Amino acid sequence: MKPAYLNLIQEQAMHNCTVTPAFSEAVTTYTCGNEGCTFKAEFAKTRFNMVSPHTCFTIHYPQNTDLMKEGDTIVLSFSFDEIFEVQLKSGQRYDARYGQFPHDSFIGKPYGVKVQNNRNNGFVIPLRFQPVLHTEALKRRTQIIFTPDISLIVNKVGLRPGHTVIEAGIGSGSLSHAFLQAINPGKLYNFDLYQERVDQAQLEFANYSDNCISQQSNVLVDGFKNVPNGVSDLVFLDLPSPELCLADVIRVSKPYSHFVIFLPCIEQIHQLCAEMYKNEHFGSVEVVKMNYNAFEFDNRTLGALQLYRGAKNVSDAKKFVQMRKVAVGRTHTGYLVFSRRKE
C-alpha cells in the first residue's frame, strides 16, 4: 500500500493539496488536508481511487480549448498502441478491458484530460481527431497506406490549403483524411470501384462535405467522371494498372502538376514507366520506397563495482541514454512513383 500512498501524495501535490491522515497500513481512506474540502480517495487492490472530487479549488481550462460535444468523433487513447475511434452519443457507453466509459462522461470536457471509467479504477485520455491517429485506429476495409508513406507524399508534393487533389482508390480512407487536412478548403475528388466503400467514405467525410466529392467509378475504363479539365494539383492512383488511365490524368491535370502512384510490385513499375516514357506530357520519374524503423530509448548504467558507484568522475557509474532498434510488424508496403506533367 505504501507505493500507492506515495503516488497519491504526488498527484495531490500537483494541486497544492495535502493528504490526511498520516500513512498507516490500517487506513484505507484519505481526505484532503484543506478545511472544508470533500475530496476522498479509497484504496482498491493496487491504487487509490477518487471517490469524491476536490471542492477547495476549481480547474480552469484554457479559453482556447475546445470542449467535446455530442456528435464529435474522438480518439480514445488507452496506451501507445491501443487507440480507438468513437462518435459521442448521449446515453451510450464505450466498453473496453479497462472498464465502461459512458459517453456523457466525455461531453463537456476538454480534449486531453483523464476520464475515469464508471468505477473509478481505470481511465482513458480522449484526443482530438487527427489523420495520423485515424490511420492507426481505423477499422480497415482494405490494405491501407501508412503514415510514413503519407507524410512523404504530402511533403514531397507540397500540398497547401486551396489545392485540388484527385484520388483513385479510396479503400479505408487513410490517405483521404490526410489530403483533406492538408488542402482544406481545397477540393478532393476521390473514386473507388466498390459502392460500399464510397458510401462509407461519404459518412466518414461528413465534416468535409463541402470540399470532398466521392464517386463510384472504374477509373481505368471511365476515367475521372465529372471532374473539369485542368483543375488538379495532384493526381494520386492506388490501382493495379495505372498506365491505362494516363490520358485522363493529362486531361484533369494543371501544367507542372504532380502525379503520384502507389504500387506494391516492381513489375508494375516497369510497365507504368514504359508507357509514361512514350508520352510527351510527363517529365522525369522518381521511384521511392520507405523503410520504417522503430527505436526505443532508455537510461542505463554499466555494471560497476559497489566501490565505484559513489565515486566521482567514474564513467562506469554514470547514467547514459541507450538507443536500440525494435522489431516492427510492417516490412514492405509498396513503392511510390513520383512524376510531374510538363507544360
61 within some domain: no
Question: Would you write out the chain's pLDDT as a tens digit for each of its 343 residues?
Answer: 778 888 788 777 766 788 888 888 888 888 888 888 888 888 887 778 888 888 876 655 444 557 888 888 888 988 877 888 888 899 898 988 888 899 999 998 888 888 888 888 888 999 988 777 777 777 666 677 888 888 899 999 988 888 999 999 888 778 888 888 888 888 899 998 888 888 887 877 776 557 888 899 999 998 898 899 999 999 999 988 899 999 999 999 999 999 999 998 999 999 999 999 988 888 889 999 988 777 888 877 666 556 555 556 655 556 777 788 877 766 677 899 999 998 7
Residues 104 and 145 in one domain: no
Amino acid identity for residue 182 in this structure: A
Helix (H) and strand (E) counts in the chain: 9, 19
**E strands within the chain?**
19-20, 29-32, 40-44, 47-52, 73-79, 82-87, 93-96, 99-102, 115-116, 123-128, 165-168, 188-192, 212-216, 232-237, 253-263, 286-288, 294-300, 320-326, 335-340
Residues 270 and 201 in one domain: yes
Residues 220 and 89 in one domain: no
Looking at the structure of the chain, the number of domains it has is 4
Q: Are 180 and 212 in contact (CB under 8 A)?
A: yes
Q: What pLDDT was estimated at residue 267? A: 92
Residue 127, annotated as binding a ligand: no
- Burial 253-264, CB ≥16 within 10 A → b, else e: beeebbbbbbbe
Q: DSSP secondary-structure letter at 286?
A: E
CA distance 145 to 62: 36
CATH number at residue 225: 3.40.50.150
Q: What pLDDT was estimated at residue 323? A: 82
63 within some domain: no
Q: What pLDDT was estimated at residue 286? A: 92
Residues 221 and 202 in one domain: yes
Residues 268 and 299 in one domain: no
57 within some domain: no
Residues 123 and 244 in one domain: no
Residue 173, annotated as binding a ligand: yes
Residues 277 and 150 in one domain: yes
Residues 100 and 219 in one domain: no
Residues 18 and 159 in one domain: no
Q: Which domain holds residue 143?
A: 137-291+331-340
Residue 238, annotated as binding a ligand: yes
Inter-helix orientation angle 174-183/147-157, to 10°: 30
100 within some domain: yes
Closest CA to 126 of 149, 103, 156, 142: 103
Q: Which of 103, 129, 155 is the last residue of a domain?
A: 129
CATH number at residue 108: 3.10.330.20
58 within some domain: no
Residue 192, annotated as binding a ligand: yes
192 within some domain: yes
Residue 112, annotated as binding a ligand: no
> Which are the contacts of 59, defined by CB distance < 8 A and separation ≥ 6?
none
Residues 216 and 274 in one domain: yes
Residues 285 and 335 in one domain: yes
68 within some domain: no
Residues 145 and 278 in one domain: yes
298 within some domain: yes
Q: Are 336 and 290 in contact (CB under 8 A)?
A: yes
**CA 266 from centre of chain:** 29
Cell 490549403 -> residue: 161
Q: Are 112 and 126 in contact (CB under 8 A)?
A: yes
